[in-house]
Each structure stands twice: as C-alpha cells, then as structure tokens.
Amino acid sequence: MKTPSSIDQVKVPTLILWGTKDKIIPATPDAEQFHQRIAGSKLVMLPEDGHVAQEEDPNGTLAVFRQWLTSAENQKVQSTK
C-alpha cells in the first residue's frame, strides 16, 4: 500500500493497531511506515488478528485502546502542570 502523502500532517496522538495476519494490507512494511511518518504515534502489532482486529478480538483491541488512552491522558495532564 502506498502511504498517503498527507499522513505527515497528522499532529495528534495516534494509536496504530495492526493485525500481523492482515492479508489485505500486510503489516510489513506498511505498519512501520505509518508509525514512522506520524510523529509521536504508537504502533501495536496484534499477533493473532487480521484486517478487522476490532471484530476478531474486540476485548483485546479495547484493552489496548484503553491502556493507550489512559496513557495519553496522563501525559496531557502532566504536561499542563
């Protein structure tokens, strides 16, 4: 997949969840390219999931999202003190 040129314009905290078994958009090299081009992003590879990780493992993806969201909120609070 060609990484969109506009991806460099993303300036907000970004969580990238990518299933390693994704046959539609393979993790290598696309996931790492997204991660490198979005400053401050966090990349989490989901070893048991494919293209629709949120449907394949909703509880697992929700747990990762909640952990990231809590971490991002904590960073925001600390930076405003």
Count up the domains in the chain and report the number.
1
27 occurs within a structural domain: yes
8 occurs within a structural domain: no
pLDDT at 78 exceeding the cut of 60:
no
68 occurs within a structural domain: yes
26 occurs within a structural domain: yes
Provide the pLDDT for residue 1.
Answer: 60
**What is the value of pTM for the model shown?**
0.79
pLDDT at 81 exceeding the cut of 70:
no
7 occurs within a structural domain: no
pLDDT in tens, 24-71: 988 888 899 999 999 989 999 999 999 999 999 999 999 999 999 998
Residue 18 and residue 55: Cα distance in Å, rounded? 13
Q: Which domain covers residue 60, as residue numbers?
A: 14-79
20 occurs within a structural domain: yes
Instruction: Check if the beta carbon of residue 41 is closer than 8 Å to that of residue 27.
Output: no
73 occurs within a structural domain: yes
22 occurs within a structural domain: yes
